[in-house]
Amino acid sequence: MEHYAGIDVLLELSSICVVDASGRIVREAKVTYCGETTAGEAPRR
């Protein structure tokens, strides 16, 4: 199954959204910006 991710990176807060091929939201998250934290929100295969 294909998934697509979008990340909106701002100075203090980042939004992450993962959708499947039909556009259904699989996961959404808002995190305080930190490179390690943001990478940790990405789904693992």
Whether the Cβ atoms of residue 33 and residue 16 lie closer than 8 Å to each other:
no
Whether the Cβ atoms of residue 35 and residue 16 lie closer than 8 Å to each other:
no
Number of domains observed in the structure of the chain: 1
pTM (two decimals): 0.63
Q: Give the pLDDT of residue 43.
A: 58
Q: Give the pLDDT of residue 9.
A: 85
Q: Give the pLDDT of residue 24.
A: 97
Cα gap 20→13, rounded to integer Å = 24
- Give the residue numbers spanning the domain of 21: 3-41
Q: Give the pLDDT of residue 4.
A: 96
Strand partners, 22: none
45 residues of the chain, pLDDT tens digit each: 899 999 998 888 889 999 999 999 999 999 886 655 555 655 565
